[in-house]
Amino acid sequence: MTAPDEPETPASASAPAPDPEGPDAVDDGAVEDDEDGPETPTEVRDRRVRSAVEWVAVLGGAVVVALLVRTFLFTTFWIPSGSMEPTLMGEGRRDRVIVNRLSYKLHDVNRGDIIVFEVPPGEPTLTIDGQQVQDLIKRVIGLPGETVELRDGDVYVDGELLDEPYLPDGVETEPICGGDGVYEVPDDSVFVMGDNRPMSQDARCWSTHSVEESAIVGRAFIRIWPLSEITLF
């Protein structure tokens, strides 16, 4: 007689269970929660306080940066009158420009620059919409030490006819506030006029006939409003 066959044991039943911590363990991507459980009211309050402090710090830093940029780098300026038309429009549209405060810390003033400057001492200020305008915007025509002469509707600098492509055809430049139309520019100053020559109250009318370089706020280098008229100068 032969011994009865022993029943076969399924392999799955005889194999040892895999070690979840062993080298062959499969990472299923699960992340264990290190927290001991739901936050307590105190922890929730502390977390919210930390978030609020972080937001205050971020917003405070942004304000400080904006103030530094406005004070030392750039500022915006709205055109208060029509004295620079048609280059910059004032009443009715009120163009806005960005002024670079650093320009003349890095290089000299150039002829043709559009500059923003403080109203010269002793000269009247504008009042527009109840707001007193302390700064003006004009174009640099004469540089320190030069002689500007207005003759027969044209502008001469040190005897040379000045080419002014920014003026509309037919515009004439006259000494609108009297005088012989000859202006000596001091060594530390510039001679400025508005592009709207018949209507601009500028160096032709001031007692000093000039703007001190120390009174220049900066150079207007781009028009940002209206958006359809964005222009680099």
Active site residues: 83, 138
pLDDT, tens digit, 9 for 90 and up, residues 122-141: 888 878 777 788 899 999 99
Average pLDDT in the 158-170 region? 96
Phi and psi of 181, rounded to 5°?
80, 15
Q: Express the helix, strand and coil content of the chain in percent, nearest 5 each.
A: 20, 25, 55
pLDDT beyond 60 at 74? yes
Instruction: Calculate the dihedral angle through the C-alpha atoms of 209, 222, 84, 119, rounding to the nearest 10 degrees.
Output: -40
* 75-232 has CATH 2.10.109.10 classification: yes
Tokens of 126: 């504008």
Q: Which of 163, 162, 206, 201 is nearest to 186 (CA)?
A: 206
Average pLDDT in the 68-90 region? 84
pLDDT beyond 70 at 211? yes
Q: Which of 220, 193, 196, 188 is nearest to 206 (CA)?
A: 193
Q: Which residue has the tokens 């971020």?
A: 58
Query: What is the value of pTM for the model shown?
Result: 0.72
Give CA 124 to chain center in angstroms: 28
Structural domain boundaries in the chain: 75-232
pLDDT beyond 90 at 35? no
- Supply the pLDDT for residue 138: 98
